[in-house]
Structure 1
């Protein structure tokens, strides 16, 4: 069974500006959160062909920010003044009157070549100044959602000081049919559930997809031969191949190293399951563990020097860390219950995991030394955590109880706040969050 648990140390609190000299900012040292009120007047369409795009882009920007739980959108019904032009001066007093702390304005046009041009500015209302310089994004009209996410990422970064995560994608398993006979296929979508595309058909079972560090390839476990085997898929052309491994073995639970050219996974041979490393270029295969226990779910540290994994070598399912070259591992989980599916945070400071204890499943996080364990969720079945590119949010699978129960994707902030369901067309499981797109 796949596990997932998430824990985080840093928490958000918004501190309003108290004087014109104090800049808008977020201080990450307090567990109390008051969402920052912001205003986003509809972006201006500077050409007739941009009318629909302007409205949709400004809506996605606002939804991205509100979805973090850190921002609160002020209804346009409360606006005192409007923004009739991207070049219009800002009437700061009118925005202060409705308690807007941040103001986002934008303009959209379609140029002579048919390209979409999106401009935006961000203002600190209380200090009466623009935050950074205005930015412009240019792309095809089909990429309008990506440009909206890029605007939201820029706003998020300027206010929080952290990189955003909106212009990213998630690969997952889409599931259809009854619980005892589900068809499963790989799918990819925007971080918020939009633009779902399918990468495989449902002719065989697929499990545990994992993005490469550059987001152009996916590792997954497939059952085309009737036994679990690791496959490598190219996202652009949907071409795939099985990893070349010794005959008579079963392989599963793969994951990329930070270099993108090395993968780790579990390999079963002779009735024993250990963790192996494979160089995709040379084909060199190395065994990293050698134990009669079941050892699986490996995940690299961001610098590639260590691997966290799960093992029952102590008699129960627990978490261990070892060198990326193998060697004697050290146990890091010591709480009550069973631990599995560990995933190293992209920041390097935390490990997310699944925990089963007291008849409940949890997503949690702990320090890499095993200290300061924190459980973020609790339900009938929560499992399979995956980190956002900035290490701030965790996505996971939640399944409801009962014969008709179906899995769905959820997200939660590392503070344990802002639990949200990700809407998908069908049941969904096994998410893997990719990097920010270039």
Structure 2
């Protein structure tokens, strides 16, 4: 492992539940780890504008470079060095690097790339260099696609760079399904929409004719479960993202069904159903009748599978207030895992399997938090008038959620935060937005 990769890997490993370390350059020695007061010094990188190897590639090269820069700096772990600080300019895509010129501006990583366009097809290639070690960080890679997919090509470059430096999977080439909202609070119109993780390329999947809630991606990212009030009370539908066709889940018509989520196998669906005045958790496998997993005179809802499919975390008020419980995926006696002050809800298991994200309400404030799967090491990442509904990035590093502002004119929006509680920022959307759900990495 190179020193550059070691530094970022150490930061990521310690950021969530320990004092954070930061890379810094010593006056007379190599890069080293320094303990700071919970602040990470972003790693400086140089990213010259990608070379346009064909005349048609000029504008694409600039746009792709800009997206790569935004992806990396948006993590809070990286800082781009302005091009006017460069000692030398990159004018061709070659494997040779004059490392002294990049060390002179304190660059720790250098990314070079090139773009060509032929017959409407874009080809993007890049190289990553560890300036301190004076060596390439991995082999050069290239990606190809249509002009319409240029942003995905940029995200793929970012994912590869991020992965090589951090040792973790990236999350940039992914999408988010959410509820787009318009109108006053007492007459809010809602429809499903999907976008790139950074808010670009918004597409609408439903109209605003009926209330929709809680969309959830399938493990393959090609389908979405959601709750609709089209019939007058909540029912679960499955929507094919590519064809935008939908079907209603085969559950008893007289039941109210909501809070759906896929199992890791992509076939089994877990959900809540209110039948005869009692709300419990059920599963549904294609071709079979729904199976009841809980049977208590309390409200059981918001189920979420562990990544290996062996357990389900859910919300229940069986103890007198909403708390978090974990049970075997096939049902059985649940164990309570939340014991702090306040009310807990909307638990979601991390893709890594080590953490559970949740919404917490306490002392008039809402929080997004994380805890270990046994309930230990609870950590609150946010606090506001109303934060709710966390969803994990594919690599388990970032959480997106809904934040609503106070007052009669308050509007919901989407925000993201690092699992360490750093880098809180709003995700741009055309209108008010809520209920985000992150997809897996796109194929």
TM range (shorter): over 0.9
1:20 is displaced (CA, Å) by: 13
1:66 is displaced (CA, Å) by: 0.3
Whether the 8 Å CA contact 1:26–1:160 is kept in 2: the answer is no
Which of 210, 213, 234 matches 1:207? 213
Q: What is the CA deviation profile of residues 221-262 of structure 1, one whole-angstrom value per residue up to 9, with x for unaligned ones?
A: 000000000000000000001101113111000000000000
Q: What CA distance in whole angstroms lies between the structure 2 residues aligned with 1:347 and 1:13?
A: 22
Are 1:437 and 2:442 an aligned pair?
yes
Q: What CA distance in whole angstroms lies between the structure 1 residues aligned with 2:158 and 2:175?
A: 15
Which of 84, 93, 100 matches 1:77? 84
Are 1:368 and 2:373 an aligned pair?
yes
Inter-CA distance 240–29: structure 2 relative to 1 (3 Å threshold): farther
After TM superposition, the structure 1 = structure 2 runs for residues 156-305 of structure 1, keeping only pairs within 5 Å, are 156-279=162-285, 281-305=286-310
Q: What CA distance in whole angstroms lies between the structure 2 residues aligned with 1:171 and 1:199?
A: 9
1:406 is displaced (CA, Å) by: 0.3
Report how many residues are paired: 429
Inter-CA distance 8–125: structure 2 relative to 1 (3 Å threshold): closer
After TM superposition, the structure 1 = structure 2 runs for residues 3-152 of structure 1, keeping only pairs within 5 Å, are 8-9=16-17, 13-16=21-24, 31-87=38-94, 89-111=96-118, 113-152=119-158
Inter-CA distance 30–389: structure 2 relative to 1 (3 Å threshold): farther
Q: What CA distance in whole angstroms lies between the structure 1 residues aligned with 2:198 and 2:159?
A: 13
Q: What CA distance in whole angstroms lies between the structure 2 residues aligned with 1:232 and 1:221?
A: 9
Q: Report the counterpart of residue 407 of structure 1 in structure 2.
A: 412
Whether the 8 Å CA contact 2:171–2:395 is kept in 1: the answer is yes
Q: Report the counterpart of residue 3 of structure 1 in structure 2.
A: none
Q: What CA distance in whole angstroms lies between the structure 2 residues aligned with 1:30 and 1:347?
A: 27
Q: Equivalent residue of 1:326, what SS?
A: coil
Which of 324, 337, 346 matches 1:319? 324
1:97 is displaced (CA, Å) by: 1.0
Whether the 8 Å CA contact 1:17–1:127 is kept in 2: the answer is no
Q: Equivalent residue of 2:180, what SS?
A: strand
Inter-CA distance 177–26: structure 2 relative to 1 (3 Å threshold): farther
Whether the 8 Å CA contact 2:351–2:392 is kept in 1: the answer is yes
1:9 is displaced (CA, Å) by: 3.4
Inter-CA distance 311–26: structure 2 relative to 1 (3 Å threshold): farther
Q: Report the counterpart of residue 351 of structure 1 in structure 2.
A: 356
Inter-CA distance 29–297: structure 2 relative to 1 (3 Å threshold): farther
1:283 is displaced (CA, Å) by: 2.8
Q: Equivalent residue of 2:111, what SS?
A: strand
Inter-CA distance 11–313: structure 2 relative to 1 (3 Å threshold): same
Q: What CA distance in whole angstroms lies between the structure 1 residues aligned with 2:91 and 2:216?
A: 46
Provide structure 1 residue ranges, at least 5 long, that are not aligned to the other structure.
1-6
Q: What CA distance in whole angstroms lies between the structure 1 residues aligned with 2:28 and 2:329?
A: 51
Using the size of structure 2 for normalisation, the TM-score is: 0.93
1:12 is displaced (CA, Å) by: 6.0
Using the size of structure 1 for normalisation, the TM-score is: 0.94
Q: What is the CA deviation profile of residues 363-387 of structure 1, one whole-angstrom value per residue up to 9, with x for unaligned ones?
A: 0000000010000000000000000
1:62 is displaced (CA, Å) by: 0.5
